[in-house]
């Protein structure tokens, strides 16, 4: 933002990256949301209860009452859909009243099938540090119960605008724009500058200069040098300079 304030181009500050595998709020002890690795979706299965408002613990919900919605909606990709698709669908489940946890703003990420297929040691080797972090934050063991995840903002994707040519939108261009801005603040408005320029051109006009020279060179007593005396009025010669262009 400091660069943008000094004249550099700044674009797309509204673009944000959403991370679908975030640990949702578990209590007041959690000062911020924690992002988990997207690699967890390689083996974890995402699901919610089929029934709205179902508050039973996950181990008490039978398989036929679970909705593995990513696998159902995107059979070719399953739980490995792009993160924007996973995030949007998780929010849709919560908005439909099928979110899990005390807040209802979470979905399950279940490793039960992966542990049964690969064994706990393989899962620990692949995700041990993440499982440890999850248990430390939530006091829940993901080897025994499903993780709860929910989308969260990861980072903003806007930034300084870049060009294909060197310094096209860089420091040099920023200095030029800043100089132009400062110059526009110092200079008077365009119409005022035009009026001043017209007056200067009139005073410098050759015909006008020649007439002034003749008046100053006139012999003493010549009325042209000081007008007509004794008549109480002062007459000037007709202005023979070309008329100014009409604005």
H or E element: which one contains 152?
strand 147-156
H or E element: which one contains 4?
helix 2-5
Q: In sequence order, what DSSP letters do the residues of 156-215 get, joined into one string?
A: E--EE---SSTTSSSHHHHHHHHHHHHHHHHSPPHHHHHHHHHHHHHHT-HHHHHHHHHH
CA dist 149 and 106 (Å) reads: 5
In contact, 42 and 80? CB cutoff 8 Å? yes
In contact, 94 and 151? CB cutoff 8 Å? no
CA dist 48 and 45 (Å) reads: 10
Out of 6, 45, 72, 83, the active site residue is 83
Q: How far is CA 113 from the centre of its chain?
A: 41
Rg, the chain, Cα only: 40
CA dist 27 and 24 (Å) reads: 9
Is 83 one of the catalytic residues?
A: yes
End-to-end Cα distance, the chain: 43
Tokens representing 42?
Answer: 């390689």
CA dist 65 and 51 (Å) reads: 7
Active-site residue numbers? Answer: 83
């Amino acid at each position: 933002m400091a660069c943008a304030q000094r004249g550099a181009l700044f674009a797309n500050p509204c673009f944000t990256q959403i991370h679908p595998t975030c640990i949702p709020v578990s209590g007041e002890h959690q000062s911020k949301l924690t992002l988990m690795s997207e690699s967890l979706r390689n083996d974890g299965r995402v699901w919610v209860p089929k029934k709205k408002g179902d508050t039973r613990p996950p181990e008490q919900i039978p398989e036929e009452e679970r909705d593995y919605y990513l696998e159902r909606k995107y059979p070719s990709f399953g739980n490995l859909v792009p993160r924007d698709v996973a995030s949007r669908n998780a929010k849709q489940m919560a908005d439909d009243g099928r979110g899990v946890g005390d807040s209802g703003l979470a979905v399950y990420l279940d490793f039960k099938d992966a542990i049964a297929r690969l064994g706990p040691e393989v899962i620990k080797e692949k995700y041990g540090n993440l499982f440890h972090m999850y248990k430390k934050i939530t006091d829940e063991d993901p080897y025994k119960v499903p993780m709860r995840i929910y989308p969260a903002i990861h980072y903003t994707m806007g930034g300084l605008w870049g060009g294909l040519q060197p310094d096209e939108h860089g420091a040099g261009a920023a200095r030029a724009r800043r100089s132009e801005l400062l110059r526009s603040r110092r200079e008077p408005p365009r119409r005022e500058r035009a009026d001043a320029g017209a007056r200067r051109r009139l005073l410098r006009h050759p015909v006008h200069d020649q007439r002034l020279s003749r008046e100053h060179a006139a012999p003493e007593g010549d009325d042209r040098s000081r007008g007509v005396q004794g008549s109480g009025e002062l007459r000037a010669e007709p202005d023979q300079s070309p008329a100014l262009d009409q604005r």
